[in-house]
Structure 1
Amino acid sequence: MFGMKAPGADARSPALAGIGLMLAGICLFSLGDAIGKYLVIDHSVGQLLFLRAIAALLFLSPSIWQYRAEFLRLERPRLQLARMVLSTVDVAAFFAATVYLPLADVITFYLAVPIFVTAGSAIFLREEVGWRRWSAVAVGFCGVLIALQPSPQSFTWPALIALCGSASFASLMLLTRTLRSAPDVVLASTQFMGSLAFGAVMAPFGWVTPSVGDAGMFLFGGVTSVCALLCVNRSLKLAPASVVVPYQYTMIIWAVLFGYAVFGDVPSIATLIGAAIIVTAGLYIFLRERQLGKVPEVSPPV
């Protein structure tokens, strides 16, 4: 009847909203990656982090002022500090690796994050991860390998930097899920505060005064990163990490689109086949989550 909700709809809605927000966040992150790779051609990683963080914190400043009391009573401050450090290591390692490695190789390491998070969510967060979801994540990762075809450069020091960054990103995801009761603006702004501190130390080395166009790119990159973080952080609040993080695999789709539009990269047949496998695995997890939402029916208290 009209106005009545289907059984399990309340349980299903937050997970589906979390998936949607993760998809939006990954799209924005991919756009930010393309902007960052363009900027590090002429500017250092430290300068990129510093100017991008300034733009992001200025954009967030009205919300920071509104929630200023929350910064004085941070939930579990040690975990917040660890999360800030992990975020800074993640973004610094990513852009540092892109200086020496092809973007596809770096993304290969980062698309292993769902494997790390699925395992970590089962071990540390005590989230239930069934064999079907494990299988879908594994199939998606096989699609990543087919699409990106890691080169022999995967075993160099820059590759270890990328691997360190991907491990930091996975740990960041788990901590975000643990601290999901903290306001979104606190989670997002503390991440950029870490980047600001690191960038302030490193930016003077090899500083290049940006042109007006590049300054606008730094500003746009900062705002894009804020929006991406807010989407991902809210996603991890609404749904289990093991459910939403596999949708990070859609990064390969955006990499193909932005790579062609910005850098003129034409995707290979292998990339298209791998992307199709990734999408199929993601859709399976999505449909599986909808199915699980219909199963449990909470009985009223006796």
Structure 2
Amino acid sequence: MFATISTAADNRVARMAGIGLMLAGICLFSLGDAIGKYLVRDHSVGQLLLLRALAALLVLSPSIWRYRAEFFRLERPRLQLVRMVLSTVDVAAFFAATVYLPLADVITFYLAVPIFVTAGSAIFLHEPVGWRRWSAVAVGFCGVLIALQPSAQSFTWPALIALCGSAAFASLMLLTRTLRAAPDVVLAATQFAGSLGFGIVMAPIGWVTPSLSDAGMFLLGGVTSVCALLCVNRSLKLAPASVVVPYQYTMIIWAVLFGYAVFGDLPSLATLIGAAIIVAAGLYIFLREQKLGYVPEVSPPV
């Protein structure tokens, strides 16, 4: 009996920690998005991914060396390769879309990811998803639509690129949950290795030598991305994807803050109303998780 209570308490703490790490990761991802959009004004997407990946792998190099043996005994190597490809498609599509579309429009597509992941986690990972959580995710997505008000550009090729990127990101989240036994540094390093490979091929096309300040921004972007990935990957190890992924809705809050700080964009009333709805939906999920505590997981299919 006491062992059961202890297990329930431990799982509740793990879920709360997973939610906190997802919130931190989304904040850092949003900062990285703002940095990336700033850099692709003068540099190609391939160059961005190359220099960003180099900076990230440089930061990760001590951990990569420490866990070097893990890279030779990867869990499900084919799935790891698929995950690496999905990560590269996600990042390349996102920044390619921001070249042609406002950041808010691109984020609109990416904030649909919780819908994809909640459905996918129930279908493919067999995670329990109740009607209340489905309802909270749907309400949160309505808040996204109110806040971002997708423009008439929603059906252009850049928008389709963003939509493909969001689908790749959702699939990446599900695979990360499936491969949660792999060390965090392995998951992060393989993602950046994919970006590095893409950058090596594409960066020479339209290469622009970065200024000293831009080089610093590339370095900051890489460090930020490492921290964000480690937070999100650890979050997905600690808690079910359907629990933590809805907190990506907080991206709109950071988009407002970084949009004003970096690009001088002032939020509209619709943005503020939508953000309030998103926060309310996220808080509902958080409070319900505290009330429910531990829900037994079903092992993912092999």
Q: Distance in 1 between matches of 2:6 and 2:166?
A: 39
Q: 1:49 to 1:295 in 2, by over 3 A?
A: closer
Q: Distance in 1 between matches of 2:51 and 2:88?
A: 14
2:152 equivalent in structure 1: 152
2:65 equivalent in structure 1: 65
Deviation at residue 10 of structure 1 after TM alignment: 1.7
**Aligned residue type for 2:152:** P
Q: Distance in 2 between matches of 1:89 and 1:176?
A: 15
**Aligned residue type for 2:201:** V
Q: Distance in 1 between matches of 2:152 and 2:86?
A: 28
Q: Distance in 1 between matches of 2:280 and 2:26?
A: 17
Identical residues among aligned pairs (%): 88
The answer as to 2:195 corresponding to 1:208 is no
2:243 equivalent in structure 1: 243
Unaligned runs of 5+ in 1: 297-302
Q: Distance in 2 between matches of 1:63 and 1:248?
A: 27
Deviation at residue 178 of structure 1 after TM alignment: 0.1
1:122 equivalent in structure 2: 122
Describe how 1:167-246 pairs up with structure 2 within 5 A.
167-246=167-246
2:299 equivalent in structure 1: none
2:265 equivalent in structure 1: 265
Q: What is the TM-score with the length of structure 2 in the denominator? A: 0.95
Is the partner of 1:126 in helix, strand or coil?
coil
**Aligned residue type for 2:139:** V
Describe how 1:19-58 pairs up with structure 2 within 5 A.
19-58=19-58
Q: Distance in 1 between matches of 2:110 and 2:231?
A: 18
**Aligned residue type for 1:172:** L
**Aligned residue type for 2:50:** F
Unaligned runs of 5+ in 2: 297-302
**Aligned residue type for 1:230:** L
Deviation at residue 295 of structure 1 after TM alignment: 8.4
Deviation at residue 108 of structure 1 after TM alignment: 0.2
Deviation at residue 8 of structure 1 after TM alignment: 3.5
**Aligned residue type for 2:147:** A
1:110 equivalent in structure 2: 110
Q: Deviations over 1:151-201 (max 9, x none)?
A: 010001110000000000000000000000000000000000000000000
Q: Distance in 2 between matches of 1:27 and 1:279?
A: 14
Q: Which moved more, 1:6-15 or 1:111-120?
A: 6-15
**Aligned residue type for 2:27:** C
C-alpha RMSD of the superposition: 1.2
Q: What is the TM-score with the length of structure 1 in the denominator? A: 0.95
